[in-house]
Every structure is written in C-alpha cells, then in structure tokens.
Amino acid sequence: MKKHQNEALKRWLRRYGELQRDADVLFDRLDDLRGRVESARTAHLNGLPHGSRGDTDRLGGIIAELEEIEAEAAEAQQAATAARREIAAAIKRISGPRWADKREILRLRYIDRLPWADATEKMFGDSQDFWDRQEVYLRRVFKLHSQALEELADYVQIEPGQENYMQEDDRK
C-alpha cells in the first residue's frame, strides 16, 4: 500500500512538469506561426506581383490559428502555474528532521525538473569529496527523497485518479 501511495504521490508531483511541457510546446508552436506570418507579410514587400486573394486567405488562416493557439497556450500556462503553486505549498509544509534538504530535493526534481544526477550535484556538489563519491551522494539524495515523500503524504491526500496530471480541473 505504501509503495502505491508513493507512486501516486510522485505522479501528482510530476503533473506540473507535464503541464509546463504542454505549455512550452504550445508556445513553441506560436513562435513558429509568428514566423510564418512574418514571412507571409514580407513576401508582399519584395516588389514582385503576387496573387492577392490566395496570400490573404493563407495569412488569414495562419492568424486565426495563431489566435486559437494563443488562447490554448495561456490556458495551459495557467494550469501549469496553478499546479506549481499547489505543489510548492505542499512542499513548504515539510518540517521534520533535515526539512531543508527534503524540501530542496522535491523542488529540484518536481519544480525545476532536474535529473537525479543534476539534483545531486546541486545539493552536494560543493562537498570536497563529491566527485570521488558521487554514488554515495546519489544514494543520500534517494533516501532524502523517500523520506520527503513519506512526510509529504501526511499533507497531500490523493484520491484514486487524482494524481493524473491531465485532470479536467487543470485546464479550466
């Protein structure tokens, strides 16, 4: 039961990263579309004759798509921001022994979305023996992470299905 609870809690924590990734992809699409709008506009400025109706229709379609994706990207970013705030507030409630390290590992993994090796280096890279004993520090990070999840489970009650990051409520 405890393992299932930890897995559900990790999925709940990961939903911010997934929501933010979704928003980032949409913002990348916006950049691409803006580039297409600019290239369509500058095509009219080169002095060569163009068929105006086809270019206008194409430009109008791109602008309509741009407006649609802008709205979708704004919704996605709002959902990601709300999830990040909820997760950060839950992390701040950790108060047991080594609370600062436990909070930090959760922030690095689930808010900053760092891989284990990078999170370990961020936490312990200043230690003189870090480069010689990276595995020891990595195990220490895993242990802190496990302890942090146990403590976080006291503050976050996850109902079956709640841990899924694409809930209806996340995008409204």
pLDDT tens over the chain, length 172 residues: 478 888 999 999 999 999 999 999 999 999 998 888 787 666 555 555 555 555 556 777 888 889 999 999 999 999 999 999 999 999 999 998 999 999 999 999 999 999 999 999 999 999 999 999 999 999 999 999 999 999 999 888 876 665 554 444 444 4
The answer to whether the beta carbons of residues 113 and 17 sit under 8 Å apart is yes
d(CA 4, CA 149): 12
pTM, full prediction: 0.78
From 138, 145, 108, select the one nearest 124 (Cα to Cα).
Answer: 138
Residues 148-160: b if buried by 16+ CB within 10 A, e if exposed:
bbbbbeeebeeee
Name every residue whose Cβ is closer than 8 Å to that of residue 139 and which is 6 or more positions away in sequence. none
d(CA 61, CA 67): 10
